[in-house]
Structure 1
Amino acid sequence: MVRVVRFHELGGPEVLRIENVDVQGPGPGEVQIRVRALGLNRAEALLRSGTYIERPVLPSGLGLEAAGIVEALGEGVDGFAPGDAVSIVPPPSMVRWPAYGELASFPARLVVKHPPSLGFEAAAAAWMQYLTAYGALIDIAGLRSQDFVVITAASSSVGLAAIEIANVVGATTIAVTRTSAKKRALTESGAAHVIASAEEDLEARLKEIAGPAGVRVVLDAVGGPSFEPLTAAMSRGGILIEYGGLSPEPTPFPLFSVLSKSLTLRGYLVHEIIGDSARLAAAKSFILEGLTSGSLRPVIARTFPFDEIVEAHRFLESNEQFGKIVVTV
């Protein structure tokens, strides 16, 4: 028997339960790991509440990121051995491959031997954020050193990862956060410019920073009314990549800006990178190089013990964090 986190009904953090269950060994092509740390993501809160793109089958497990030690190998798996320190690329289904537990199995192609210097907590905090940011900025937008790039929800784990990746390329980063409370921390995390959107004129500040050339790349997790000022400050042929929808307000279609500048507005989910072997291999190589060199350093907002998973989810939904929330097992 091992401990896992499950929920038997949809709802808030309080529906999460730690239960003792029998866990089977890894299936063909899978690697089972003894989990040492979990990385928390908003997707897990959405699954728990019934508003995620995937529907849970109750009772359901959850979780997309983990790091630990290889416990057992399924049929047909090579390249790993029991005792290897590994971390997990988020699987396409957390219902099928839930991470929240003392033991968990994942497809071998999504298991990575991370740099030993990284440690389990940082390794559990790495893959979702860096894959999401890499896929948007490098794979899709082809970010260049001469580009201005706007990153909204900049204090989130993906936002901070995007700042780091843009800095590796040499692009000029413009971090957008709601208030000035996190301005200093964002600057210390490498943002060249920081805009507090609730306190400043977003369009005017973007045009002041980027100048006549405008902003070529926008990575947005918010949507809502900010589409108008964001696109108004973009360059001809620019691309806005939308990977979230944090704003509760309607998102207008900025018709004039799109037509006059030939803009691309593109929806994006990290699954398109994870589901393509060639694109995933390129992403892994870029991220592992950054993690090894130290140019990519996961920021951990707070760490909770496994027994406090409910409290960890409450903090996840508080929007108070700067970086990633990690749970140790």
Structure 2
Amino acid sequence: MARIVRFHEHGGPEVLRIENINLPGPARGEVQIRVKALGLNRAEALMRSGMYIETPALPSGLGLEAAGIVAAVGADVAGFTPGDAVSVVPPLSMARWPAYGEVATFPVELVVKHPPSLDFEVAAAVWMQYLTAYGALIDIAKLRPDDIVVITAASSSVGLAAIQIANRVGATPVAVTRTLTKKKFLLASGAAHVIASAQEDLEARLKAIAGPCGVRVVLDPIGGPIVAPLTAAMGCGGILVEFGGLSTEPTPFPLFTVLKKSLTLRGYLVHEIIGDAVRLQAAKAFILEGLAQGSLRPVIARTFAFDEIVEAHRFLESNEQYGKIVVTV
């Protein structure tokens, strides 16, 4: 028996329950982990509330990121033995392979021996944010040392990961946040410039920073009206990678701006990287090297105990965090 978080109906954080479940051992090609820490993601709040791209049968588990110790391995698993310290690349289905629990099982190809310098809390906060930012900036946009890259929702875990990746390749990260409250934090986190979109003229500031060449790369999880000033400040041949839809307002398509500048507006899901073995291997190598060198380091906003999973989800939806929320088990 193991304690597992499940929900029997869609709703707010209060629908989450910790239940004692009798779990089977790992199947062929799977690794079972005794979980020490979990990384929380907005995708989990969306699935819990019934608004995610995956609609599970109820009751359902959830969770995409975990770190812990290998408890058992299934048949045909090589390279892992009980006792190994590991972390987990987010699976394509969190209903099929949920992470929230004292014990969790994952396909072997998603299990990673993380650098020994990382403790479990930090290791649980690695893969979603860095894979998302890597896929958008490196795999898709081919970020270059001379690029100016605009990162909206910059104080989120993905935003902070994107700032670190931009600095690692020598690009200039411009952090966009709603108010100046987070300016000092973002500058200390590696942003070259910080713009408060609710207090400053976003288009004018971006044009002043980028100069006549304009911005080549934009990473945005928001959508909505912000797309207009972002694209207005982009240069010819620029690319805007959209990986979320946080705005509740309609997203206008800036047709004439796109035509005039030959812009690319690209929708992106991290599943593109996770589901492609070759691209995932390249991403793992980039991220593990950055972690080992110290150029990539997850920022932990706050840590909760496993019994506080409801409170952790409330904090997740508060938009108050700077970085990643972690739950210890």
Establish whether TM, by shorter chain, passes 0.5.
yes
Q: Does 1:270 align with 2:267?
A: no
Could you tell me which residue of structure 2 aligns to residue 230 of structure 1?
230
Q: Does 1:145 align with 2:145?
A: yes
Q: Runs (4+) of structure 1 moved beyond 2 Å?
A: none
- Per-residue deviation, 1:60: 0.3
1:57 & 1:326 partners in 2: Cα distance?
26
Q: Does 1:296 align with 2:300?
A: no
1:144 & 1:198 partners in 2: Cα distance?
29
Q: Does 1:49 align with 2:49?
A: yes
Could you tell me which residue of structure 2 aligns to residue 6 of structure 1?
6
Could you tell me which residue of structure 2 aligns to residue 31 of structure 1?
31
Could you tell me which residue of structure 1 aligns to residue 250 of structure 2?
250
Q: Does 1:106 align with 2:100?
A: no
How big is each residue's C-alpha offset from its partner over 1:29-51, in whole Å with a ceiling of 9 and x where there is no partner? 00000000000000000000000
Q: Does 1:79 align with 2:79?
A: yes
Q: Does 1:96 align with 2:118?
A: no
Could you tell me which residue of structure 1 aligns to residue 18 of structure 2?
18
Could you tell me which residue of structure 1 aligns to residue 319 of structure 2?
319
- Per-residue deviation, 1:243: 0.2
Aligned residues: 329
- Per-residue deviation, 1:94: 0.1
How big is each residue's C-alpha offset from its partner over 1:215-264, in whole Å with a ceiling of 9 and x where there is no partner? 00000010000111000000100000000011111000001110000000
How big is each residue's C-alpha offset from its partner over 1:55-107, in whole Å with a ceiling of 9 and x where there is no partner? 02100000000000000001110100100000000000000000000000000
1:256 & 1:180 partners in 2: Cα distance?
32
1:157 & 1:88 partners in 2: Cα distance?
17
2:57 & 2:294 partners in 1: Cα distance?
40
Give the TM-score of the pair, scaled to structure 2.
Answer: 1.00
Residue 160 of structure 1 aligns to which amino acid in structure 2? L
2:47 & 2:226 partners in 1: Cα distance?
26
2:143 & 2:222 partners in 1: Cα distance?
21
Give the TM-score of the pair, scaled to structure 1.
Answer: 1.00
Residue 136 of structure 1 aligns to which amino acid in structure 2? A
SS of 1:173's partner is strand
1:257 & 1:68 partners in 2: Cα distance?
48
How big is each residue's C-alpha offset from its partner over 1:270-298, in whole Å with a ceiling of 9 and x where there is no partner? 00000000000000000000001100000
1:13 & 1:181 partners in 2: Cα distance?
27
RMSD: 0.4
Structural mapping, 1:158-173, within 5 Å = 158-173=158-173
SS of 1:239's partner is strand
Residue 129 of structure 1 aligns to which amino acid in structure 2? Q
1:303 & 1:40 partners in 2: Cα distance?
10
1:293 & 1:82 partners in 2: Cα distance?
27
2:151 & 2:35 partners in 1: Cα distance?
32
SS of 1:187's partner is helix
Residue 250 of structure 1 aligns to which amino acid in structure 2? P
- Per-residue deviation, 1:328: 0.1
How big is each residue's C-alpha offset from its partner over 1:119-156, in whole Å with a ceiling of 9 and x where there is no partner? 10000000000000000000000000000000000000
2:25 & 2:100 partners in 1: Cα distance?
16
Structure 1, gaps ≥5 residues long? none
Could you tell me which residue of structure 2 aligns to residue 125 of structure 1?
125
2:56 & 2:194 partners in 1: Cα distance?
38
Residue 85 of structure 1 aligns to which amino acid in structure 2? A
Could you tell me which residue of structure 2 aligns to residue 200 of structure 1?
200
